[in-house]
Structure 1
């Protein structure tokens, strides 16, 4: 299954403390919803308008409401400037349903939306629909690995407006040419958005310019990581749980000495211990056929938590490898056994506040705060 990385950069209009353009993102296991909005005017007023518009659109789309219904709701509530006769905010929303292999793009008065595959732009016919007196463009495509979708507010397309070099602004055609050049030279999306924002800053050096927000969606294979932590509550379920875990897509890591022994017993395979990874603050790691990594349990997980929380940098080799795997993954599935290790808890308290459970919950929280999808299941 595919997913997409989302990169964006922005600049404020000269003299303003905030950018009037906004982006909002929502993700789950199979769907990504992204909305970019440009608020009319500048500063705080524009930021409030764009934030409200992008947030409503993204939240409703992420919750599965039909695209047309979402935009009917937004356009029905979005006021029109009586002086200029234009909306107080424009909007582009992208909904990627990777389970159904379709991405839907909806544009309302949005200036720059371009799809690229490799170094070439892909042109797709757009359907024009009317909602009240407003015109909305809607189109879709099947996402492929290494496709790139570029979204930019008019701060980029109108950059340099009024200058001798670009009297009408930088323009969509020049953005396309620049984007093709960047992609053909394998420039990363994170650097692409920064490049365009810096370009807008240079072009606006002698003019007031406008708020600018540039976003890139880069499609790629989804990276899934599965962690088996601790024995199941019922010993008779060991075999079923191990077989189910091994059948899952994605990388697999086993945490805990007893857990590793269960995998050896069920699969008939041996864990190969790498003694070179032993250190004074961490046991050595192991590997098994079909398993990326086997680590010690609670000590390693505690070090992972402290590292992610910024409490410690000097952690063992196993914790470092585990942290790297967690940060590289898009979706992390924790399968946590309910069997109790008396050494890890106070026997006066209920098992669901055991040290293992708390550590896993805290690690999952930190990963979610960093934009990861983290699921925790107990067995």
Structure 2
């Protein structure tokens, strides 16, 4: 069975540095997810440039079909060893996870990856070997991920958290991995795991990190489609076809808009129940239709959903963000479903113009609703999840 990789990362900068010396690149191919964590030598601007070059070159080459050896050789030629410290200008970890679960992992001078299955840290020594690649000693591992497995790549700022402050010798790899194994059962998604770990690291540093610290989390999840129906068809004769397509598509069902909900209820001969829970006075309450996972208002709710997802993609991922995601309103519930329970999105969009939202003299493509659906689709694609749109 094919799996989907939920990928997320979180970084904190070394104290008093404006730029992070760690850099993460996540790219998708037709049949795999590529994730690279690079840690530039030192900190600040120089480290940021070095790690950005390293991660971008490796990820772009792998996405283009190059082998890991070719990518590492290119990095070795591009970023030579520092003459003073005799250290590589950038360390890195590369993970390519294929849709069938196969994992190709290459690590160079970064802390070893943390692989968790069923709440336990797995020993990868039997499937790892030390190799020389372009004059560098790298650790190469090959194993398989199954649904529910978590793979975490961390920079050395994580394992040295608290050294000389909260802890004498830092947090160390064993403590980080056991902490993560316990937390996997509490936090359901890759973004929440990455944020939880980095917040723990920041606490050990007492809010003044002694090094750039980054956690990149890859979680294998079963494939789950979210189907979203928004807006009535231009031709009322298409109502039945639109509802049939929507209901027969496997996966979760979301309806955005009162008119859309009325059409579905009429075609299916089911009742709409409106909740009276105004937990957020700025958004209309949600409703219920038998067989539908979520029924919300249209434009206001979609606008807030787009705002929440855009905040996430700008990496404003902290406790405040997740408190916002856990709010009891339609927009938060849609955003949470897309972020944490969705591997692909199908949009069933009616092009009929609502006079309340649009000047009827303008083309339908310029309607507020269509713009919001296009923005939503674009953001979901940025999250690495495919989007399919059908218009009526």
Report TM bin, short chain. Answer: 0.7 to 0.9
Task: Quote how far apart the aligned CAs of 1:362 are.
Answer: 3.9
Q: Deviations over 1:288-318 (max 9, x none)?
A: 33211334444654565678889xxxxxxxx
Distance 2:220 2:94 in 1: 16
Deviations 1:216-235 (A, max 9, x none): 43444466432111233455
Contact kept, 8 Å, 2:349 with 2:389, in 1: the verdict is yes
Matched positions, count = 358
Deviations 1:117-148 (A, max 9, x none): 21333324124554432343332332234433
Q: Does 1:138 align with 2:143?
A: no
Name the structure 1 match of 2:50: 49
1:126 aligns with 2:128: yes
Q: Give the drift of 1:187.
A: 6.3
Q: 1:219 to 1:306 in 2, by over 3 A?
A: closer
Q: Does 1:193 align with 2:198?
A: yes
Q: Find the counterpart in structure 2 of residue 316 from structure 1.
A: none
- Normalising by structure 1, report the TM-score: 0.75
- Contact 1:305–1:363 (CA<8 Å) still a contact in 2? yes
Q: Secondary structure of 1:139's match?
A: strand
Alignment of 1:80-91 (within 5 A): 80-91=81-92
Name the residue aligned to 1:361: 374
Matches for 1:139-178 after TM superposition, within 5 Å: 139-157=141-159, 170=170, 174-178=172-176
TM-score, length-normalised on structure 2?
Answer: 0.73
* 1:211-290 alignment, distance < 5 Å: 211-221=212-222, 224-233=225-234, 235=236, 237-264=238-265, 266=267, 268-274=268-274, 276=276, 285-290=286-291
Alignment of 1:14-25 (within 5 A): 16-25=17-26
Alignment CA distance shift 1:140-1:249 (3 Å) = farther
Cα deviation per residue 1:7-43 (whole Å; 9 max; x = unaligned)?
A: 434341x665544222233468975432111112333
Describe the shift of the 1:326–1:243 C-alpha distance in structure 2 as closer, same or farther (beyond 3 A): same
Distance across 2 between alignment mates of 1:303 and 1:43: 35
Structure 2 residues not aligned, in runs of 5+: 188-192, 312-327
RMSD: 4.1
Cα pair 1:7 1:193 within 8 Å, conserved: no
Q: Which consecutive unaligned segments of at least 5 residues does structure 1 have?
A: 311-318
Superposition map of 1:290-369 within 5 A: 290-298=291-299, 300-301=301-302, 320-330=329-339, 331=342, 332-364=345-377
> CA 1:241–1:132 in structure 2 vs 1: closer, same or farther (change >3 Å)?
same
Q: Secondary structure at the match of 2:233?
A: coil
1:3 to partner: Cα distance: 3.0
Matched-pair contact (CA < 8 Å) for 2:227–2:254? yes
What is the deviation of 1:351? 2.0
Secondary structure, in 3 states, of the residue corresponding to 1:213?
strand
Q: Deviations over 1:319-377 (max 9, x none)?
A: 922432223323444321223445543233222112321232344456677x4747362
Indicate conservation of the 8 Å contact 1:36/1:91, yes or no.
yes
- What secondary structure sits across from 1:291 in the alignment? coil
User: Separation in 2 of the partners of 1:275 and 1:107?
Assistant: 52
CA–CA separation in structure 1 for the residues paired with 2:310 and 2:181? 36
For the pair shown, which has the larger CA radius of gyration, 1 or 2?
Answer: 1
Per the alignment, in what secondary structure is the counterpart of residue 254 of structure 2? strand
CA distance in 1, matches of 2:91, 2:227: 40
